[in-house]
Amino acid sequence: MKKIASLLILVMVLFASCGGNVDNEREGSHPYLEIVNESSHHKINSVLLLGYNLSPLNLEIGEAQTFALNNGMISGHENIYVIIHIDDNPNSVYIKVNFENGKTTVITLKSRERLRPYLEVSYK
């Protein structure tokens, strides 16, 4: 009887200690990507990165959108090229970023003048 009681207690302790880790993994099981348009001259039509084609977007000035990258990251989480197509022509800008499960990589489109859009990256 003591063996059964000891085994039951052991199973309960193991179950309780593993339960929290599983929940934490689920909450942070994939990275997020936020696209922000702070350019006064351009709109964002689509975003491309390996394994994802986020289009059509049509993000106007001052708009933002967040995506859960829950289909996995084919080539890992570091040094990933993200291409942002702007306006109604084949113009695009790109940036190399990192991702982390449960965290948000923020890419912001900015411009100094109409012909010079650029991207900034931040993490939250």
E strand intervals along 4-116: 32-37, 44-49, 52-54, 64-68, 80-86, 92-97, 104-111
Q: How many domains does the chain have?
A: 2
Residues contacting 100, CB < 8 A, separation 6+: 31, 77, 123
Domain housing 117: 31-123
- Is there a single domain that holds both residue 8 and residue 40? no
Report the mean per-residue pLDDT for the chain.
Answer: 79
Per the CB < 8 A criterion, the answer to whether 96 and 122 are in contact is: no
Amino acid at site 14: L
The reported pLDDT for the residue numbered 79 is: 94
Beta bridge partners of 118: 110
* Mean pLDDT, rounded, for 17-41: 67
Each residue's pLDDT tens digit, 49-58? 989 999 888 8
Phi and psi, residue 25, nearest 5°: -65, -40
- Is there a single domain that holds both residue 25 and residue 46? no
pLDDT exceeds 50 at position 14: no
